Chains A and B, each alone.
Chain A
Amino acid sequence: MSKVKPSFWGLGLAALVVFPLIVTNPTYTSIGVFTLLFMACATSWNMFSGYSGYVSLGTAIFYGCGAYTMALVSTHAHMAGGAAQFWLVPLGGLVAMVVAVPVGAIALRVRRHTFVVITIALFFVFQLLAINASFTGGAAGISLPLIPWLFNYYNLPFYYVALAMVIFATVLSALVRRSRFGLQLLAIRDDEDRALGLGVRVTAVKMTGFTMSAFTIGMAGALYAMFIGQIYPQFVFEPNFDITVALMAFLGGFGTLLGPLLGGLILEASQQYLTLSFSNGSLYLILFGVLFLLVILFMPQGIVPAVSKWWAGRGEKRARQSQAGTAVSTVSTKSTNPTVDPTPAGAKP
């Protein structure tokens, strides 16, 4: 696991907190909101898929359910647009969790590639439902209550709610990693049948992880709907979303804590920036293609594992160099393979 110092986390958090206070241009703060939403989604996705190895490409089901919860409840309840709508964000998460139960019950019966395909299929079922069901407003979408906030400050509340969501997802993911439950997910990733034979209730563990991860994603969807003010089925139940979230986690480091945050930050921020800077909306796809080729070529495990490995290797090299400097002639005593060094017992976890 990544051994990132607490001070690093503090610095990162501080940077995210002060960002909209320094960069006040609404164009950039709105990029900030989208980026934070994706960071939260990627972290939450990784909390189940990254730990358990069950790569889900049906994430947009939960995003869409969250978005529609926000849209439908706020319009049907004739809510005035404003801060009160934020209360619907957790409700969106809860609805996503409820939806995740039958989705998980179907999809988690199968493994690996079949699981991926089933999640994609279920995703399209939900997209079709959103387009064709009567209560969703169909392809015309739903307009949410207008929020009468000043243009210059409109993004700020969204930014901080999204940031809170990122913190929530990250803390939850870290807690899961430290819990017995997280260990069970990792055991399932490596060998599900063996885990079952060691008393792990694999079905219950997988279902719990799947529904837990749907919660934050549903909240992100709800916040997105409120932020945009108008939703269409093909934009909240979007296949690109499924893939983007997974790619963010893979880019940053599948199964690591920091990886999906970093992946979300890099990908979403650059995508939004490129789309805004160049009128050509799909230029970013070409750049992403190049970026992914580079990452797959040079860091197949993702950025975080590759960098931490390089960092550890650098430290070792330096230690060896200083050793060689002090012990001038005793060359042969150097250990050739530093990884088999006996580590003090009980040093972990």
Chain B
Amino acid sequence: MTTLLEAKDVSRSFGGVKALAGCSLSVDKGSITGLIGPNGSGKTTLFNVMTGYVKPEKGTVFFDGHDVTNARPNKIFALGVGRTFQLTRIFARISVIENMLVATQRDESWLRGLTRSKSSKSELEAAMEWLDFVGLARLASMQAGSLSYGQRKLLELAYVLVADPDVILLDEPAGGVNLTLINEISEKILALNKGGKTFLIVEHNMEFVMKICDKVTVMHQGCDLVTGTPAEVRANPAVLDAYLGSSDELDEEDVSA
């Protein structure tokens, strides 16, 4: 397997806090990679570095052979890296379908945006298709702000998908979502993965991670601690240490708590 997205020895601090301290991560093409770790271990910061929102102090980020270390978020998105946010971010005061259309442009020049209408027929069709995929098609003309929390999560996933990125970074897709929807989301991810999409997922829900990921990286205090298959990671005493402080007398079930 070839590596599609890679962070090498990335460091970044905020004031005195070293959010990332020489962290490395690689995402293979066509895989579903999980990124787990205790709160404050730097997962979201790593996401921000990889998508251009935060500039690293040291280290490099590569996507598909391009060095994207200091590229702007719109550039990285145009290359084919889509992401969602931990706190779901949608455009609340425009309609659901317009939310989708914002993302369809991907690599269009701003001058083109001035002279064209906001959607073409094919873009509208693609947008409706993806809305249908996440089950929001009937809400297309509603104002996005009136969607429920779970629907917002789905919409965020849908508008990232409509741009057809090669790799999708999901920040806690199962956070604060009920069990039925979690299963629905994991099914969608697996279906998309079969269709060739690569995923990198930050998640606290261990069951979810263990079920769908091919490979899991555990982060701890800004470093990558362990990388391996879900089973390997589960059995690793260092992981238990990181999560719970001590590996004594703890069995696997506690990891998922």
Interface residues of A (CB under 8 A from B): 178-184, 186-187, 189-191, 193-202, 204-205, 208, 339, 342-343, 345-349
Contacts and interface: CB of A to CB of B under 8 A. Distances in A.
Contacts of B108: 180, 199
Contact of A195 (B78, B102, B115, B160): B102
B247 to A, nearest CB: 38
A183 B140 contact: no
B177 interface: no
A346 B140 contact: yes
B256 interface: no
Contacts of B78: 199
Interface in B28-72: 51-53, 72
Would you call the interface of chain A mostly helix, strand, loop, or mixed?
helix
Contacts of B83: 197
B93 interface: yes
A197 B74 contact: yes
Contacts of A346: 124, 128, 140
A198 B124 CA distance: 17
Given A199-B77, A205-B110, A342-B138, A349 B93 contact: no
Interface string B87-109: 00111111101100111011110
A198 B118 contact: no
B150 to A, nearest CB: 15
B114 A349 contact: no
Contacts of A197: 51-53, 73-74, 77, 83
A191 B85 CA distance: 12
B146 A339 contact: yes
A182 B118 contact: yes
Which among A205, A208, A348 has the greatest number of chain B C-beta atoms within 10 A? Answer: A348
Contacts of B94: 183, 186-187, 190
Contacts of B116: 179-180
12 contacts: A180-B112, A195-B91, A195-B102, A197-B52, A197-B74, A198-B103, A343-B142, A345-B128, A345-B140, A346-B140, A348-B95, A348-B140
B89 A199 contact: no
Contacts of B113: 179-181, 184, 205
Contacts of A208: 110, 114
B236 interface: no
A189 B73 CA distance: 18
Contacts of A180: 101, 105, 108, 112-114, 116-119
A203 B128 CA distance: 29
Closest 5 CB pairs of A and B: A190-B91, A180-B113, A342-B138, A204-B110, A194-B89
A194 B106 contact: no
